[in-house]
Copies of this chain bind each other. A is one copy, B any other.
Amino acid sequence: MKHTVTAKDVAKLAGVSQSSVSRVFFEGAKVSEKTRTKIIAAAEELGYRPNEFARSLITNRTKIIGIVMKGVHNPFYPQVLKQFAAAFKKKGYSILFVHTNNDEIEAEDVETLLNYNVAGVIITDAVMALTVGEEFKKNKIPVVFFNRKLNSDEFYSVSCNNLDAGRKVAEYFFDKGVSEMAYIAGDADTSTSRDRQKGFQEVLKQKKARYRHYSSDYTYNGGFKTAMHMVAEGDLPSAIFVANDIMALGVLDALKANSIGVPGQTKVIGFDNIEMAAWPAYQLTTWEQPIDKMVHATVAYLLEEIAEYTGAAETLEVDGRLIERATT
């Protein structure tokens, strides 16, 4: 028979009141050292664990962080998920994982997050309708957009400084003596792809170089197909900036399939620095996203807002750096 041991049981065994037991397990409350040890002993003996639900019911707060994620196929995101899980575990928070299929987070997903009254929300690789955002604001739940920059200043967002990265990549190509270059975009409606493009394009324009644009979708197959198409077109640019690594790998494979030498005939730079970029088969030069810093900033912001909600928003952009390998 299942007998959940409650604070009352512990109280009885320790010969104190339930309130005292509560005070021992609720940090910030004061109990004398004597009764504390008594209670801890009793709790230990019975295997007491405070009921998280009763707790949340009365405090109207939880120790749950909701993480909404779409791109589980891009190894960048599982990596991010892992880091968040580790960081929040340290702080005593648990992760409610919500997978969304859509670019825009679905109403159902928001429902879930609100139902569980999460302490904070991280949305990664997806965006959110404004009306939905209001819902979170109304409930004073802090939200962070991870790896997505927002137009509005309504929400905190943290991403890599994509604009700057785009510029630096272009300059790097010029330094290498290349002037014929192209950009392969990811999903067109993502800030990440747009900003990378913008910075890249800006420098090309300034140097009066021709800008060539290709659209793809942030997947390996997308990158592969786009590159195949480019090759078929003829007139291959001598350098290609690809909006993320997983696409860049597809590009490399397509080039290889066409026996096009890299970096000899054309150079390739990706974005993210996922583990696979370092594999011998690819040795992809790429722009590293400083995941650690980005995660750290996100966690710090959320914890602050959880401690005292201000609703203050900011668009944080962290500097990344170029990792030079064999494709340039």
Binding site for B on A (CB under 8 A): 2, 4, 49-54, 56-57, 60, 62, 67, 72-73, 75, 77-79, 81-82, 85-86, 89, 94-99, 101, 108, 111-112, 114-117, 138-140, 220, 224, 249-250, 252-254, 256-257, 275-276, 279-282
Contacts and interface: CB of A to CB of B under 8 A. Distances in A.
A52 B256 contact: no
Given A253-B280, A256-B280, A111 B49 contact: yes
Contact of A275 (B51, B97, B220): B220
Contacts of A114: 49
Q: Tell me the number of copies of this protein.
A: 2
Contacts of A281: 249, 252-253, 256, 281-282
A57 B58 CA distance: 11
Given A4-B60, A78-B78, A97 B67 contact: yes
A78 B85 contact: no
Contacts of A52: 115-117
Contacts of A81: 72, 78, 97, 99
25 contacts: A2-B138, A2-B140, A49-B115, A52-B116, A52-B117, A53-B53, A53-B56, A53-B117, A67-B97, A72-B79, A73-B79, A77-B78, A81-B97, A85-B97, A85-B99, A86-B99, A89-B99, A95-B97, A95-B99, A220-B279, A252-B281, A256-B281, A257-B280, A281-B281, A281-B282
The 6 closest A-B pairs by CB, nearest first: A85-B99, A97-B97, A78-B78, A95-B97, A53-B53, A53-B56
Contacts of A73: 75, 78-79, 275
A309 to B, nearest CB: 9
Given A75-B78, A250-B279, 18 more contacts: A2-B139, A49-B111, A50-B115, A51-B57, A52-B117, A53-B116, A75-B75, A78-B81, A86-B99, A86-B101, A95-B96, A95-B98, A96-B96, A96-B97, A220-B275, A253-B279, A276-B276, A281-B281
A57 B254 CA distance: 56
B56 A85 contact: no
A281 B248 CA distance: 13
